[in-house]
Amino acid sequence: MKKFSQKIFEQIRHVVFGVEDGLISTLGVMTGIASGSNNKAIVILSSFIVVFVEALSMSAGTYLSSKSERQAQEKLIKEELEQIRKNPEKEREELTKFYRKRGYHESEIEKMVGHVMKDEKLLLEEMAHKELNIVLKKYENPVKSSIYMLASYVIGGIVVVIPYFILPVRWGIVLSVIFACIALYLLGYYKGHLTKITKSKSGFEMMVIALSVAIIGYILGKIIGHIIGLLE
């Protein structure tokens, strides 16, 4: 049950991060493009490029980082296992030192070390955790993680760009910001529930970030739009 819950939590983590990044990044970029061009065709074309290219980029980044982390940890664990098999007495000494630092009595240490040394898998778990700060677990599937990131980023981005398809650019900006703020508040509220922090505070913080990004994007869009002549 615990392993199942951990798997679910890891999947939710990717989804929450993907939707959050899709909302915030797309909001900033699209608000800037919309305010700087005031051209519906440009905004719609840009929305497709921004959402899907960024989603692919985030997905690729998630895949590569998950795979690299997995490979690095597997290499360290393999090296630790080789040390255990090559020099078990040295591992016994190190394990004794770890338990001693934790404040166990010598009689307790002797029993604990004796028990652990009889089980190679248990010894590897202990040494990986105490020496390498690695918890042995079933690693995330890089492909699955990247798919979760891709889908969740697209969902977050679509929430932001929908208003531009149904409204004039000026009102599209307003509704896009409103949609993003509502979605990010709800996402922050849910994140607060997951992380056991104040839910309303978490939601409000996310909403403030969205508004800040929208304002910056709007101002930059206006300035650059005037500079390059898209706006009079």
pLDDT at residue 138, as a whole number: 63
pLDDT for res 1: 43
CA angle, 119 as apex, 87 and 98 as ends, to 5°? 65
Q: How far apart are CA 160 and CA 137, in angstroms?
A: 37
Q: Which pLDDT does position 177 carry in this prediction?
A: 92
Please list the pLDDT of the chain residue by residue as tens digits (232 residues). Answer: 444 445 555 667 777 888 888 999 999 999 999 999 989 999 999 999 999 999 999 999 888 988 888 888 888 888 888 888 888 888 888 888 888 888 888 888 888 888 888 888 887 888 777 777 777 666 677 888 888 889 999 999 999 999 999 999 999 999 999 999 999 888 888 877 776 778 888 888 888 888 898 889 889 888 887 787 666 5
- pLDDT for position 174: 93
C-alpha 147 chain-centroid distance = 13
Contact between 143 and 11 (Cβ < 8 Å): no
Compute the distance between CA of residue 221 and CA of residue 37 in angstroms, rounded to an integer. 8
Per DSSP, 139 falls in state P
* Intra-chain end-to-end CA distance of the chain, in Å: 62
DSSP sequence for 114-178? HHHHT-HHHHHHHHHHHHH-----PPP-HHHHHHHHHHHHHHHHHHHHHHHHHS-HHHHHHHHHH
